[in-house]
Amino acid sequence: MLTIQSAPRSGQLCNGQSRRDFLRIGGLAMGGLTLPDLLRAEESAGRRSHKAVIMVYLPGGPPHQDMLDLKPDAPVEVRGEFSPIATNVPGIEIGELMPRLAGMMDKFTAIRSVVGSIGDHASFQCLSGRSDRKQPPGGWPEFGSIVAKVQGPANEAVPPFVGLSPRMQHRPYNSGKPGFLGPAFSPFQPSGDGKDDLVLQGITLDRLADRGQLNRALDRLKGNLDHTGMMNGLDAFQRQAIGILTSNRLAEALDVSKESPETLARYGKSTSQHQGDGAPRLTEQFLIARRLVEAGARCVTLSFSFWDFHGQNFKASRTNMPVLDQALTALVDDLHQRGLDQDVTVCAWGEFGRTPKINKDAGRDHWPNVSCALLAGGGMRTGQVIGSTDAQAAEAKDRPVHFQEVIATLYNRLGIDADRITLSDLAGRPQYLIDGRQPIRELI
């Protein structure tokens, strides 16, 4: 893999943190890059589609009954401290801590009946739709890795799959697993550790925008490849990955300083401090995600804050939910204002819900029986609620929606036929993208 190493001095990247960062390009292996036949077919037909997905993972599992599925008539030990508020869609109410979402509910769909969680404290089920307990040889790839394999880059200067999630203390929260597809389809991670990657001729992050220096370094790299004979095996489509290194398009997409102060303020105030063993509250990552899909990324994933509220659930919710409310609604509003709402799908969810009954520490514990999700954009039918739960938000009562149905919907919005396409695992066995689940009919 190729990396562009940041300078060892303190510097800012995206979230303002001072650290030694690496840009990892996960689409180029030194022995050659394999791109799908679909990319060549699109090119020969004279068209290159660019649909995109932004997935927001909420590490730890948010309390569904305090966010989107309040039960004001339940006993006090179940309903908690918050009240429902009306939204701009008649008949739909959500939690009081998300007033911005309430004001633009017509641009969202709330799913109150997500089922199928295996109960693991991990990002894998959200990012793949599958369990990681029983896997084929090589392991299941994440959603973004499959998109990168099936569709390839929409723009040669931008990786198809970008992972913005920081490294989290609880290791199963961390994403970026390409499974049996191999490391060539790992996400491009602007904040990866990358210490074992190949550094491109000493080019540092703060010099990335200098096209002259970058091109001279690339010339030296090409000379080395030519000397070893590797360059002869790369066709025009394989060289697209090298195009990432010869354009400032990616660097510009990652640079939120190009946005106006008013736009930055709309997304809210970030903190670089990790929350518990989860992620920081980096609201500008929502903005970076929008910039990346505009630049050509097909899938962008990010992790936001920490939601494992075993204690002080209501205090933690008062801290977390308003920040999520501001950043998520700013992203969706931005997509609509820029005419991207038909092409970019947004999904926000966690790995499970929380227990109906409040525990002795004023918290809610793990509850895999049912959880919630928010979807927006993608040309979907928004302004609705799908599914319902019983009187205590403990079980799906109406229209249970499986994790894989959500993932199938995301594939559908990208134009990927999950019923038809198979990918071979390391044993050579074909594997379908989804186990027979269909896209959510209410949305499409």
**Closest by CA position to 145, among listed 178, 182, 173, 174:** 178
> For residue 146, what are the CA distances in angstroms to 162, 165, 182, 218, 373?
13, 18, 11, 28, 22
In the DSSP assignment, the letter for residue 3 is E
Q: Which residue has the tokens 């198809």?
A: 160
> What is the pLDDT, as a whole number, of residue 411?
98
Rounded Cα–Cα distance for residues 255 and 299 (Å):
18
* DSSP, residue by residue, 173-230: G-----GGG-GGGSPB-TTB--TTSEEEEEEEGGGTT-HHHHHHHHHHHHHHHHHHTG
Distance of CA 315 to the CA centre of its chain: 27
Could you write out the three-class secondary structure of 367-387?
ECCCEEEEEEECCCCCCEEEC
> What is the pLDDT, as a whole number, of residue 211?
53
Superfamily of segment(s) 41-193+256-432: Alkaline Phosphatase, subunit A (3.40.720.10)
> What is the pLDDT, as a whole number, of residue 156?
84
Rounded Cα–Cα distance for residues 211 and 10 (Å):
22
Consecutive 10-residue averages of pLDDT for the chain (444 residues): 45 41 38 37 52 98 98 96 98 98 98 97 96 94 97 91 96 94 91 43 50 60 56 48 70 91 96 97 98 97 98 98 98 97 98 98 98 98 98 97 98 96 97 96 97
Element (H, E) at 331: helix 313-337
Angle at 281 between CA 158 and CA 262, to 5 degrees: 70
In the DSSP assignment, the letter for residue 88 is S
Query: Domain locations in the chain?
Result: 41-193+256-432
- Residue-wise pLDDT for 70-99, tens only, equals 999 999 999 999 999 999 999 999 999 999
Q: Which two tokens stand for residue 151?
A: 């569709």
**Closest by CA position to 444, among listed 371, 384, 403:** 384
Give the list of residues 6+ apart from residue 298 with CB closer than 8 angstroms, or none. 50, 51, 52, 53, 144, 147, 148, 151, 153, 154, 160, 161, 414
**Closest by CA position to 120, among listed 395, 351, 354:** 351
Rounded Cα–Cα distance for residues 350 and 121 (Å):
9
| Pair type for strands 84-86 and 93-95 | antiparallel
> What is the pLDDT, as a whole number, of residue 201?
41
